[in-house]
Chains A and B, each alone.
Chain A
Amino acid sequence: MNERTVKELRLIAEKCRRNVLRMVEASHHGHLGGAFSAMDIVTALYFYKMNVRPEDPKWEDRDRFLLSAGHKSMVQYAVLAEKGYFDKSVLDTYGGFKTQIPGHPDMFKLPGIEANTGALGHGLSIAMGMALGLRSQKKDAKVYAVMGDGELAEGSNWEAAAAAAHYRLDNLTAFVDFNGLQISGKVQDVMNFTPIAQHFAAFGWAVRDIDGNNMEEIVETLDSLPLEKGKPSLIVAHTIKAKGLSFGENIASFHYWEPNDEDLRKGIDEVEARISALEKELEEAGK
């Protein structure tokens, strides 16, 4: 494990959190809780794992990323912007009329978006179809999907889970962003799908539980994919809702945040302080 790589990824994740807050500055609302909880995973995928070309977003051999929980779209917009898919000024249009970055992603509006997700329970089927299509074309490209924990109650996910295992799609990896909270409260109280890993394992997936906000653990897991040859991989990423916004962490109401100016400033200051600290650490380590 290269410590510097991990630290660099942590810095990028914080810069992407800042990108999310830039979108919130523009609109004064957004699904922040899930965007922040999934941020470390999505950052590591784009900046460490995935074989993509931001300058050629439709390159046919690219790895695919799908955000099944499309309401977390700010996480993907933030990471795509940081990766150079589009100019960061687009982030300032969040919430605006005819924006390229609507509340749920639109593949015809923004480069780098692979599917029009947002209606929950669709992403895994689409990802599974992509993985099957790529494999049948003998392409080495991989498919990564990030699902929410609340959306596991959608039955269509389990149709896709069965099919992916049946077709032994080890080019497919799905992450469940298990932050444990949905609009009505704790996921386990609303509809309990724990133990999540065991559910997927019973369907024939190779599974692993990780700390989804620990970059070292994420990188180590990405290095181990596929977890088992001949099986799709399912990573239960135990995360903290609104991770990185100290006063919002683990609070269900931060699923959708409509901050006042003061709270928003406070959030920006926190993230910027972490960015400065990490930059300093990296600079010192580089000497």
Chain B
Amino acid sequence: MIGEKKDPRKTFGKAVSDIAEQDERIVVLSADSGFSSGFKEFAAAHPDRYFEFGIMEQGVTGIASGLATTGKIPVFCAIAPFVTCRNYEMFRNDLGYMRQNAKLVGRNCGFTYSDLGATHHSLEDFAIMRMIPGVVVLAPQSPDEIRAASKAMLEHEGPVYMRIGNPKIPELYDGEREFEIGKGQLLRDGNDLAIISTGSTTVYALEAAEKLAEKGVSAMIIGMPTVCPIDEEMVLMAAKKVGRIMTVEEHYSHGGLGTLVAEVCAEKAPVPVKMHGIPKEYATSGPYEELLRYYKLDADGITRTALEFLGK
């Protein structure tokens, strides 16, 4: 963990707004959600490129498609379940099937809206978005990576879903790293176990690696900011080199990153895979840190789960 923690929403809004200064095709859509997504200044500076629609995520998704057919690059950010579950068929048909160049961003993802309860959690967004052919699914892991992923998302031609959280998050490493859609990052080498993590949990996976090292366990840590398409090469490298993989994500343990990794392993390099996430239930509510602890997604929980997986 490096430096001061930063607000993911403001970081995202600023990143897109900065790029939009240079690219007039970018328009921002809001379902009463734009100001809370970091676009208040953009809205004031560019009223002709900021469109407010009120709370109608299905409509906005279709409208994004129509705008994209005219060459615009619409960016629509709102609370994650409302840009994935609520509008799923619009995402599938109007953006996916129509292959439109629109970017939907789910903020307050996972259970970062912890105390608001299960209606406002998104623990299945990876699972459902990855099933739409041609849709890229991103989950950047740090403020720097949110900036880099926003740039990559806007440069990519086609529909993208990106999820970002709510609580302030730290940097994972010094300086910006090259970000390429579909590429994972080897953050720490190791021999006993490979932990593949995405989004919010990667910082805790790195902490867990320290704790595991104290117990004599050498953990490889892979950050996977692109959930779909999964970086097969990186997964196969881990499977072949370490032979034991644990996935970690703020998502249901099945259907998301874990399933994507397990699919690669099952077909190309069968090794034991422990899929660590939230069990399929309507997650409980409370302070975010307590939820992380309860679902064993903090550094201690990841450490204990890894040790159990290793039979230690």
Of all chain A residues, which has the CB nearest B27? A136
Per the bound structure, the CA–CA distance linking A78 and B2 in Å amounts to 64
Are A159's CB and B58's CB within 8 A? Answer: yes
Flag B110-153 by CB within 8 Å of A: 1 or 0 each. 00000000000000000000000000000000000000000000
Per the bound structure, the CA–CA distance linking A127 and B203 in Å amounts to 43
Is A107 an interface residue, CB under 8 A from the partner? Answer: yes
Flag B37-62 by CB within 8 Å of A: 1 or 0 each. 00000000000110101101011111
Is A242 an interface residue, CB under 8 A from the partner? Answer: no
Contact of B69 among A115, A118, A122, A124 (CB under 8 A): A115
Is B67 an interface residue, CB under 8 A from the partner? Answer: yes
Chief secondary structure at chain B's binding surface: helix
What is the CB-to-nearest-CB distance from A51 to chain B, in angstroms, rounded to a whole number? 15
Are B70's CB and A130's CB within 8 A? Answer: yes
Are A125's CB and B59's CB within 8 A? Answer: yes
Are A122's CB and B93's CB within 8 A? Answer: yes
Q: Which of B3-11, B94-102, B229-237, B273-281 contacts A (4 or more CB under 8 A)?
A: B94-102
Are A126's CB and B66's CB within 8 A? Answer: yes
- Tell me which residues across on chain A come within 8 A of B66, comparing CB atoms: 115, 125-133
- Tell me which residues across on chain B come within 8 A of A159, comparing CB atoms: 53, 56, 58-60
Are B56's CB and A163's CB within 8 A? Answer: yes
Is B63 an interface residue, CB under 8 A from the partner? Answer: yes
Are B67's CB and A125's CB within 8 A? Answer: no
Per the bound structure, the CA–CA distance linking A122 and B59 in Å amounts to 8
Is B83 an interface residue, CB under 8 A from the partner? Answer: no
Are A126's CB and B94's CB within 8 A? Answer: yes
Per the bound structure, the CA–CA distance linking A137 and B67 in Å amounts to 11
**Which of A82-129 touch B at CB < 8 Å?**
107-108, 114-116, 118-119, 122, 124-129
Per the bound structure, the CA–CA distance linking A182 and B269 in Å amounts to 53
What is the CB-to-nearest-CB distance from A103 to chain B, in angstroms, rounded to a whole number? 14
Of all chain A residues, which has the CB nearest B97? A116
Contact of A129 among B56, B64, B99 (CB under 8 A): B64
- Tell me which residues across on chain B come within 8 A of A156, comparing CB atoms: 58-59, 62, 90
A108-B99, A116-B97 are known contacts. Are A130 and B67 too (CB-CB below 8 A)? yes
Is A282 an interface residue, CB under 8 A from the partner? Answer: no
Are B94's CB and A122's CB within 8 A? Answer: yes
Is A134 an interface residue, CB under 8 A from the partner? Answer: yes
What is the CB-to-nearest-CB distance from A57 to chain B, in angstroms, rounded to a whole number? 13
**Which of A128-185 touch B at CB < 8 Å?**
128-134, 136-137, 155-156, 159-160, 162-163, 166-167
Of all chain B residues, which has the CB nearest A115? B98
Are B63's CB and A119's CB within 8 A? Answer: no
Per the bound structure, the CA–CA distance linking A131 and B63 in Å amounts to 9
Is B200 an interface residue, CB under 8 A from the partner? Answer: no
Per the bound structure, the CA–CA distance linking A115 and B65 in Å amounts to 9
Of all chain A residues, which has the CB nearest B53? A163
Are A129's CB and B62's CB within 8 A? Answer: yes
- Tell me which residues across on chain B come within 8 A of A133, comparing CB atoms: 66-72
A122-B90, A133-B70, A137-B71 are known contacts. Are A160 and B63 too (CB-CB below 8 A)? yes
Per the bound structure, the CA–CA distance linking A159 and B58 in Å amounts to 8
Is B207 an interface residue, CB under 8 A from the partner? Answer: no
A129-B69, A133-B72 are known contacts. Are A107 and B59 too (CB-CB below 8 A)? no
Offer 29 A-B interface pairs, CB within 8 angstroms, sorted by A: A107-B98, A114-B69, A115-B66, A115-B98, A116-B98, A122-B62, A122-B89, A122-B94, A125-B58, A125-B59, A125-B60, A125-B62, A125-B66, A126-B62, A126-B65, A126-B66, A127-B66, A129-B62, A130-B66, A130-B67, A130-B69, A130-B70, A133-B71, A133-B72, A136-B72, A156-B59, A159-B58, A162-B56, A163-B59
Q: Give the interface of A toward B (CB within 8 A).
A: 64, 107-108, 114-116, 118-119, 122, 124-134, 136-137, 155-156, 159-160, 162-163, 166-167
Beyond the given A114-B69, A119-B89, A156-B90, please list 12 additional residue pairs across the A-B interface where CB-CB is below 8 A: A116-B97, A118-B93, A125-B60, A125-B63, A128-B63, A129-B62, A129-B67, A129-B69, A130-B70, A133-B67, A160-B62, A162-B56
